[in-house]
Amino acid sequence: MQDTVAVALITALSTLFAAGLTGAITLRLQRRQAAAERVRAREEARRAAYAGLLAASTETWFAIDAMWRLVPPQNVDDPMHPEAGEVLSALKRLDHALHVACLHGPSSIDTEAAELYFYADKEFGTIMQVLDGNIGDSRRAVHCAIPSLALIP
């Protein structure tokens, strides 16, 4: 009878040990999987934020380039070109994309991304000064700003 009890005890303990070991391994694997999923989600969010920043930057610079091809208004009372509103909207989207990218990315991109926005904003201000300062001129804004470019069609 003692042999039967010993065998039953050994069987019960080995079953409990196996169940505990299986549980510990499963828990460890689930933690690794959850950590890998968090890393993957973080990288995906970062990639999407960077793609949004690049898309907003491209959109802004295309809008700014279009402004350089404008002719200044003929009169002071003339309404501003609708392209100016498009640039302002693009700058707002760039600003938003910049903040999203800075939230998701490492702090090392903050300065460069901010410089991208501020440089675009400064370029827009320069174009507006050229357009406002050359009212009545029939040349494009770029030719008003840099007369030597007037030779280039």
Record the tokens describing residue 77, joined without a space: 């009372």
Burial code of 133-150, b = ≥16 C-beta within 10 A, e = fewer?
A: ebeebeebbbbbbeeeee
Residue 97, pLDDT score: 95
To 10 degrees, what angle do helices 82-104 and 2-68 make? 150
Domain boundary assignment for the chain = 45-151
Q: What is the pTM of this model?
A: 0.74
- Which residue in this structure is represented by tokens 């990639």? 47
Contact 147, 76 (CB under 8 A): no
The 10s digit of each residue's pLDDT in 28-63 is: 989 999 999 999 999 999 999 999 999 999 999 999
